[in-house]
Structure 1
Amino acid sequence: MRTKKVNFYPGLKKNAYPFTLDDIVCGVDEAGRGPLAGPVFAAAVILHPDRPIEGLRDSKKLTAEKREALAPQIKEYALAWAIAECSHEEIDSINILQATMLAMRRAVEALSTIPTIALIDGNRSPVMQIRCHPIIEGDDKVHAISAASILAKTARDAALVALHELYPQYGFDQHKGYGTAMHLERLREHGACPVHRRSFAPVRATLPVSVANTIVGMDMSFDFGEAA
């Protein structure tokens, strides 16, 4: 039976690939850059050329049900995959941009197969020992980045559901830590819990003045891909 040929780079022009056919390409993406609580996750995926996975695209354009269905397929059929994170403490310590870059690097370094190039969703790349190439909206242009986007998103959603069990008053299972009206209302009502990112302005605003004044505000305007 012949394997169906799949274009793993539907949004890239073949004469502009940032790699050669001899490269081992991994896709990398993050999830949880924008929320007010919990860790930021990143995933790295090397797809298997003979095991195509149907339906890969930007995780934000998929329903939760579709993401949950694709995640185990990615883990089963990919040549290699890895998921990593940076905690809320690390985010507050080094800022969200650097924490995201660190989570991405950790994911790539955790792969069981060593890639020769990492294609990163967004316009910035982490510093690594292998070549990196950022691709704006790469999660809809490169299937390996799409796969990474799905793994990072489903892993982070599961982590926030687990945090809901510890801090049910905030409704983490519903908004996954994003600054929704509900979350902001619960934050004002209950104050910050241990997993809230204290360097983020809406959280810092709920802290005692003596505590808030010791926290350096982080610039949240970094643009290295849409928040996931």
Structure 2
Amino acid sequence: MTANHEMPELALPELQRKPKKKKKETSEPRDLLVYEREYWGSGFEYIAGIDEVGRGCLFGDVVAAAVILPQGLILEGVNDSKKLSEKKRDTLYDIIMENALAVGVGYADAETIDRLNIKQAARLAMKRAVEALDVTPHYMLVDAEKVDLNIPQLSIIKGDANSQSIAAASIVAKVTRDRLCKEEWDTLYPEYGLPVHKGYATQFHREQIMALGATPMHRRSFLGNLLGEQHTLF
């Protein structure tokens, strides 16, 4: 009688085992109406999102915007303006302007920035943006700042990435300032390349300041030792 011998199971060497593929983590889209819904639910009908741009520029105004959107409106693609392409910002700008209940824009120029400092000038631009609204807000959501107005408000760190109203204000402020750089300000000072760098401290911009001097729209308090003994040519 022949013995029945079972073949032992051979374990594959560890190196031959194919690692299991990890499932891609799918993140839910960020809810940008968390703050708005909370305050709408508390009886605040008109909620203004407020943000500013141009804080770090060597040239030109700091520009702020205040935007009041209808309750429940969802704007697809709205996010921090700095993370969007120029084309996307322009498209969203038009959508925001068409759908907003009110939009206000405020400015603080280079002289004001030099006199007050950039933080206080940015806050002033925000205040002016709110004052430019056709509708008085019942509550304000502000990107990492406090607005000097007697209106209830909440300062939100990285607000443009966490609140649709602030993100909308960020887009309006950015598009407004960029258009000033490309149109009005470039017409005044075409040698400085403003449509490209928007007033920030690129190498080309610094070189032009050194070669031509500062314009009246340059922020003297930001130039430091850049000018050396250069004198304003305008």
Give the TM-score normalised by the residue count of structure 1: 0.81
Residue 201 (structure 1) shift? 3.1
Residue 94 (structure 1) shift? 1.0
Equivalent residue letter for 1:131: P
Residue 186 (structure 1) shift? 1.1
Instruction: Flag structure 1 segments of 5+ consecutive residues without an equivalent.
Output: 1-5, 212-228
Aligned to 1:156: 177
* Residue 168 of structure 1, aligned match among 190, 201, 208: 190
After superposing on structure 2, the runs of 4+ consecutive aligned residues of structure 1 that deviate more than 4 Å are 17-20
Residue 21 (structure 1) shift? 3.3
SS at match of 2:55: coil
* Residue 129 of structure 1, aligned match among 150, 154, 174: 150
Cα RMSD after superposing both structures: 2.3
How many positions carry a matched residue from both structures?
201
CA contact (8 A) 2:36 2:47 kept: no
Residue 54 (structure 1) shift? 1.6
Equivalent residue letter for 2:154: H
Aligned to 2:208: 186
Residue 176 (structure 1) shift? 0.3
CA contact (8 A) 2:210 2:230 kept: no
Aligned to 1:54: 76
Residues 146-197 of structure 1: CA distance to partner in whole angstroms, max 9, x if unpaired? 0000000000001111211111111011000000111111111111112101
Q: Which stretch has the larger CA shift, 110-119 or 168-177?
A: 110-119
Aligned to 1:216: none
Equivalent residue letter for 2:87: E
Q: Which stretch has the larger CA shift, 164-173 or 44-53?
A: 44-53
Give the TM-score normalised by the residue count of structure 2: 0.79
* Residue 130 of structure 2, aligned match among 108, 119, 122: 108
CA contact (8 A) 1:51 1:78 kept: no
CA distance in 2, matches of 1:54, 1:29: 19
CA contact (8 A) 1:53 1:77 kept: no
